[in-house]
Structure formats: C-alpha cells, structure tokens
Amino acid sequence: MESDRIKWDDRYAGAELAMGEEPSRFLVERIDQILSVCPGQEAFDIACGEGRNSIFLARHGFRVTGVDISPVGLAKGRERAAAGSLAIDFLQADLETYRFTATYDLIVNINFLLRELIPLAVAALNPRGLFLFESILDTPTLQGYHTRHFLLQPGELPTLFSSQHGKIIHYEELPGADVPVARLIFQRS
Ligand SMILES: C[S@@+](CC[C@H](N)C(=O)[O-])C[C@H]1O[C@@H](n2cnc3c(N)ncnc32)[C@H](O)[C@@H]1O
C-alpha cells in the first residue's frame, strides 16, 4: 500500500540504520539448526527493510532475495551488501499483492505480519524447506502505539500454520521480553 511505502521511507530516511545493524536474535540463535536441516541455499527475506537479516543469511552462504515496499530501506541494504561484497537481490514490491515466482529452501519473516501471505509463502517452499517467523505479540506490557491487527495474539501463530502441509519444529512466545514476540519455525513436508 502506498501509505506503507511513505511511512517506511520516512522511517528509513536518516543516515543511521532504523532497525539496527545486528540481525534478528532469533535468526542468530537458530542459524545452526537452520543450516543443519535446510535442504538448500535459496532464501527469501519477507519485508527485508534495510537488509540486516538478508546480509546475515548471505554471510552464511545463502543466495538471498529480499523484498520490501521501501526503496529507501532497500537502497541502504544494497549499500551494506556492496560494502561486504555480498550479492543480494533486493526487490521493491508490495507484499499485499506479491506473488512468488520461484521456490526457496528458507523463507524468513521478521517483525512483519501479513496473515494472507503465509499460505503463499509456504507454497513457495521447496520440500523440507523452512519458514522462520517472528513477530510482535499483543501483551499488556507492550510499549508504544501499535495497530492491533498487526499484532499476533497469544496462541495465534501456530493456528496460522495449522492447515499447511508440514510441521512446526519450534514455537515459543516471549511475553516478558522488552518487545514481546512469538517465534516459530515451520518445515514443509
Ligand atoms: C519492522 S520493519 C522490519 C524489517 C526487517 N524485517 C527487519 O527485521 O529488519 C517492517 C518492514 O515491512 C515493510 N513493509 C510494510 N508494509 C509492506 C508491504 N505492504 N509490502 C512490503 N513491505 C512492507 C516496511 O517497509 C519495513 O521494512
């Protein structure tokens, strides 16, 4: 949606990295497990922003496609990737209307929630491919202003995968974290 592009371009407009330099802690914690069970090296980063998670995956040998609506965020990702001599395909698209044109061994979704995209992403996984998902959980302690529709409700995330062909190999909710999150790893059959 155009309003999302405008909002995120504005957030990414400064010289600093709005999402920080470090990749998602969940991704870092799980990378050994991912590498041991992932069937190949094609990865897709949903709503990649400034590319912190795409860059981390590329450093671990994945060929990464990162998609985001914000050209400003993507430009920062491209700059960081070039500085690290990493070839990452950063593409601008609105994920509300996006249709996958290839298949992947790993799809990551960090800090983004578009429920309708989940079945499309699972369908774009290769056999035994992994889907790593983390997003913000609606809890009484959550700080700041959030639109409820974009928050996971407690217990909701596994239900979003329940009709998909495959199994959940990791699930946790961290309601007491600084930013409460739900985290899941799904493996396609
Ligand atoms: C909280 S940021 C997370 C970025 C990245 N996943 C990370 O962890 O650093 C949310 C991202 O979603 C992107 N976004 C929001 N709406 C979008 C849409 N409709 N299509 C594609 N990207 C979108 C924003 O541009 C932003 O980069």
Q: What integer pLDDT is reported at residue 139 of this predicted model?
A: 94
Give the up-direction half-sphere exposure of residue 57: CA atoms within 13 A in the CB hemisphere: 33
Q: What integer pLDDT is reported at residue 185 of this predicted model?
A: 98
For residue 114, how far is its CA from the centre of ligand 1 (angstroms)? 10
Q: What integer pLDDT is reported at residue 181 of this predicted model?
A: 97
Mean of pLDDT values over 180-186:
98
Query: Measured between alpha carbons, how far is 72 from 32 in angstroms, rounded to an integer?
Result: 31
CATH of the domain at 30: 3.40.50.150
Residue 1 has pLDDT above 90, yes or no: no
Binned at pLDDT 50, 70 and 90, residue 41 comes out as: very high
- Mapping DSSP onto H, E and C, the string for the chain reads CHHHHHHHHHHCCCCCCCCCCCCCHHHHHHHHHHHHHCCCCEEEEECCCCCHHHHHHHHCCCEEEEEECCHHHHHHHHHHHHHCCCCCEEEECCCCCCCCCCCEEEEEEECCCCCCHHHHHHHCEEEEEEEEEEEEECCCCCCCCCCHHHCECCCHHHHHHCCCCEEEEEEEEECCCCCCEEEEEEEEC
What is the number of the ligand 1 atom nearest to the C-alpha of 51? 9
Nearest alpha carbon, ligand 1 atom 16: 4
Tokens of 94: 């609105």
Q: What is the pTM assigned to this prediction?
A: 0.97
Quote the number of domains for the chain.
Answer: 1
Binned at pLDDT 50, 70 and 90, residue 145 comes out as: confident
Query: Measured between alpha carbons, how far is 131 from 24 in angstroms, rounded to an integer?
Result: 15
For residue 3, how far is its CA from the centre of ligand 1 (angstroms)? 12
Q: What integer pLDDT is reported at residue 108 of this predicted model?
A: 98
Give the residue, out of 112, 146, 149, 183, with the most ligand 1 atoms within 8 A of its beta carbon, to mutate for a pocket test.
112
Binned at pLDDT 50, 70 and 90, residue 144 comes out as: confident
Nearest alpha carbon, ligand 1 atom 17: 69
Q: Domain residues for 85?
A: 2-188
For residue 111, how far is its CA from the centre of ligand 1 (angstroms)? 7
The per-residue pLDDT for range 84-140, each reduced to its tens digit, is 999 999 999 999 999 999 999 999 999 999 999 999 999 999 999 999 999 999 998
Give the residue, out of 1, 7, 54, 70, with the most ligand 1 atoms within 8 A of its beta carbon, to mutate for a pocket test.
70
Around ligand 1, the residues with Cβ closer than 6 Å are: 1, 4, 8, 19, 24, 47-49, 52-53, 68-70, 73, 94-96, 110-112
Q: What integer pLDDT is reported at residue 146 of this predicted model?
A: 87
For residue 44, how far is its CA from the centre of ligand 1 (angstroms)? 13
